[in-house]
Chain A
Amino acid sequence: MEYLPNILFAIALIAGIGYFAKNVKKLIRNIKLGKAVDVSDHKKQRWQNMIRIALGQSKMVRRPVAGILHVIVYIGFVIINIEVLEIIIDGLFGTHRVFSSLGSFYGFLIGSFEILALLVFVAVIVFWIRRNVIKLQRFWKAEMTSWPKNDGNFILYFEMVLMALFLIMNATDIPFQNMESGNVISQFIAPWFNGASESTLHIIERLAWWLHILGILVFLNYLYFSKHLHILLAFPNTYYGKVKPKGQLNNLESVTNEVKMMMDPNADPFAAPAENDTEDVPEKFGASDVTDLSWVQLLNAYTCTECGRCTSECPANQTGKKLSPRKIMMDTRDRLEEVGKNIDANNGEFKDDGKQLLGDYISNEELWACTTCNACVEACPVSIDPLSIIVEMRRYLVMEQSAAPMELNNMMTNIENNGAPWPYNQMDRLNWKDE
């Protein structure tokens, strides 16, 4: 029985990490449902972007208040988790504060963790106030109801509780308090427990210790279901993010091939397809569902933090249009999850569910409200490109469904007929010279 806690600990650890690994596998499988896209270019710039934007949080601090608070939580959270290493060793081997033999350096480490924990605690409270008391507009848009709204708050509670447990655990740890080193913050919490007996203190300490580590394991597994996935995915996402000028949209290769065929006087339209031309299904232009998007766009969707910076800068959204770039990303993720679950439920095959991203999640009205201004792309702190999804879906609407608004059809007919979006004669193109 003596080893019971160790065994329980090992089971919790394995279960926690195992379930997490299972979800990561699912995540990767879902992302790979996207179309292949070449991302082997600009290696150096990609690394730089990742270091600058994800690690250095360069885009977060453009909004200084939220930015600096976020940096605190981020650094605090990452560094304090070094402590988890000690917890795991202690838990598995029944030791107590195995690193405390490091002496004053240990004191220094734990001391810094305690300060960070307090800072994180305070920062998270400010975040909570911004969301729930000040009600910053971007957290109260149409798409931020039910789960997304709760999710945002759950994470804050989680962090508050984890930080509190960490400090309580230290405050009630008598040997640690007696060390008089590293208890920078917890020494002020210890007196709250003054009346308690040594054994009660020990129980509280153990309880806090267990809840802390179990909390971390639960948190780890919560990520997959939450916008908080960005703490992991921000890194690959900023690496694979757009490295071309923001104004540059990709040229559809399938269209290039067809246009070349049409323009080439030597091409024989009736020629039998070449031997290696295995694709007899005509290629679909644009995207009506998540599987028509590229895997980078799907990674984007999982990375989205739902911060709403994009939406708050979007000219369409600011003028009351239905479009919200954040919603585009959330819809993409929700639909992708739905497709993933469908695949799980049907032995690894997707079974048509009569639904798709276009129409069931994202409406034409939203898509046609976009001015392609790139404000959303510029604003996103983790290099997400909502615009690319909007354009891909417009392509489907126009090229597969001929469902452009009438005025746009007229405009396009004009371009076809006289090389300008207006119905003017091409021969009058130089008239301005003499007017």
Chain B
Amino acid sequence: MSQSLKVPTMAEYMAEGKQPEILFWVGSAGSYDDRAKKITRAFVKLLNKANVDFAVLGTEESCTGDVAKRAGNEFLFQMQAVTNIEILNAYDVKNIVTACPHSYNTLKNEYPELGGNYNVKHHTEYIEELISSGRLKIENNSNLKGKRITFHDPCYLGRANEVYEAPRSLLKSLGVDLVEMKRNRRTALCCGAGGAQMFKEPEKGDQDINVLRTEDALKTNPNVIATGCPYCNTMMTDGVKAKEREAEVEVFDIAELIAQAENL
């Protein structure tokens, strides 16, 4: 697994007096969470394969503050935002790509008023661009061909920012059998992680949200549940376990599926 990845940092670029095409914003989950780190690595493999000039902030990156803001701690959020913006602006960053819809939403929508203006893309949007510009080719003989895959819309990508089609078109380009859940796109049910729920026990109720959403997904009889958010990934993975279906149903990020198809 420890195939070596090329992951330059902004500091290294700066030292060489160069500017990368994009900054890859890894996010806290992508940096520390064991499951999410795999997504991060998969995406980097794709970037390496497409010869994208990218960099990360590495140890200079800090939480965007999304979760603090949604928990109600506007103060902490803005402290994080101002700190991050200072660093991003010092490096003169223009384009940011991230695999986390929460970072995406915050960087794209909430940083501009605080002085951080960047062109922000979700990794599914960016991969789609790499494919359409011919920089990344999808071999159409992947092992995923014909597999039943359902896509769970992350709230912060879908409803929050109305990106519904990029992930789907990537899945279709893999030749998979894309099956939709009854609630999809703007009516998709949340996985239950947003709004800081990821970090606390759910309030009293009669079911866990991730289990309800996993039931939605399982009704499509999928081989794979695909998603585009590290938190959704955790929630759906736990949901599949709760339903004791982990032997037949796997949960993957779109970047991982494409990396698999590319045998990376």
With contacts A375-B159, A411-B196 taken as known, whether A249 is within 8 angstroms of B75 at the C-beta atoms is no
Please state if B160 and A371 are interface contacts (CB–CB under 8 Å): no
Q: Which residues 196-216 in B have Cβ within 8 Å of A in the complex?
A: 196-209, 212-213
Q: Tell me the complex Cα distance, A404–B78, Å.
A: 18
Please state if A247 and B31 are interface contacts (CB–CB under 8 Å): no
With contacts A246-B160, A394-B72, A415-B65 taken as known, whether A319 is within 8 angstroms of B207 at the C-beta atoms is yes
Residue of A251, A399, A428, A432 near B113 (CB, 8 A) is A251
Q: Does B264 contact A (CB under 8 A)?
A: no
Please state if B162 and A245 are interface contacts (CB–CB under 8 Å): yes
Q: What are the residues of chain A within 8 A of B213 when measuring CB–CB?
A: 315
Please state if B78 and A373 are interface contacts (CB–CB under 8 Å): no
- Closest chain B residue, CB of each to CB of A423: B32
Residue of A247, A252, A369 near B203 (CB, 8 A) is A369
Q: What are the residues of chain A within 8 A of B59 when measuring CB–CB?
A: 426-427, 429-430
Name the interface size band of chain A.
35 or more
> Which stretch (A21-29, A68-76, A152-160, A255-263) binds chain B?
A255-263
Q: What are the residues of chain B within 8 A of A286 when measuring CB–CB?
A: 72, 74
- Closest chain A residue, CB of each to CB of B6: A433
Residue of B1, B40, B63 near A421 (CB, 8 A) is B63
Q: Does A31 contact B (CB under 8 A)?
A: no
Separation in Å of the A65 CB from the closest CB of chain B? 16
Q: Which residues 105-138 in B have Cβ within 8 Å of A in the complex?
A: 105, 108-110, 113-114
> Which stretch (A42-50, A227-235, A320-328) binds chain B?
A320-328
Q: Tell me the complex Cα distance, A335–B49, Å.
A: 59
Please state if A369 and B73 are interface contacts (CB–CB under 8 Å): no
Q: Does A80 contact B (CB under 8 A)?
A: no
Residue of A245, A262, A408 near B196 (CB, 8 A) is A408
Residue of A256, A374, A394 near B159 (CB, 8 A) is A374
Q: Does A343 contact B (CB under 8 A)?
A: no
Please state if A408 and B71 are interface contacts (CB–CB under 8 Å): yes
Please state if A315 and B212 are interface contacts (CB–CB under 8 Å): yes
With contacts A255-B78, A315-B209 taken as known, whether A412 is within 8 angstroms of B73 at the C-beta atoms is yes
Interface majority SS (helix, strand, loop, mixed), chain A: helix
Please state if A255 and B159 are interface contacts (CB–CB under 8 Å): no
Please state if A415 and B160 are interface contacts (CB–CB under 8 Å): no
Q: What are the residues of chain B within 8 A of A315 when measuring CB–CB?
A: 189-190, 192, 209, 212-213
Please state if B190 and A371 are interface contacts (CB–CB under 8 Å): yes
Please state if A429 and B31 are interface contacts (CB–CB under 8 Å): yes
Please state if B202 and A369 are interface contacts (CB–CB under 8 Å): yes
Q: Does B80 contact A (CB under 8 A)?
A: yes
Q: Tell me the complex Cα distance, A21–B70, Å.
A: 40
Q: What are the residues of chain B within 8 A of A334 when measuring CB–CB?
A: none
Among B40, B70, B114, find the residue whose CB has the most chain A CB atoms closer than 10 A: B70
Residue of A395, A408, A415, A421 near B74 (CB, 8 A) is A395
Q: Does A391 contact B (CB under 8 A)?
A: yes
Contact with B along A25-68 (1 / 0, CB 8 A): 00000000000000000000000000000000000000000000
Q: Tell me the complex Cα distance, A365–B202, Å.
A: 10
A residues in contact (CB < 8 Å) with B: 244-249, 251-252, 255-256, 258-260, 262-263, 285-286, 313, 315-316, 318-323, 365, 368-375, 377-379, 391, 393-399, 404-405, 407-408, 410-412, 415-416, 419-422, 424, 426-435
The 5 nearest A-B residue pairs measured at CB: A247-B160, A394-B72, A372-B195, A320-B206, A419-B62
Of the A-B pairs whose beta carbons lie under 8 Å apart in the complex, a sample of 15, sorted by A's number, is: A248-B105, A252-B78, A255-B74, A259-B78, A315-B192, A315-B213, A371-B193, A372-B155, A375-B189, A408-B200, A411-B68, A412-B71, A412-B76, A415-B67, A416-B76
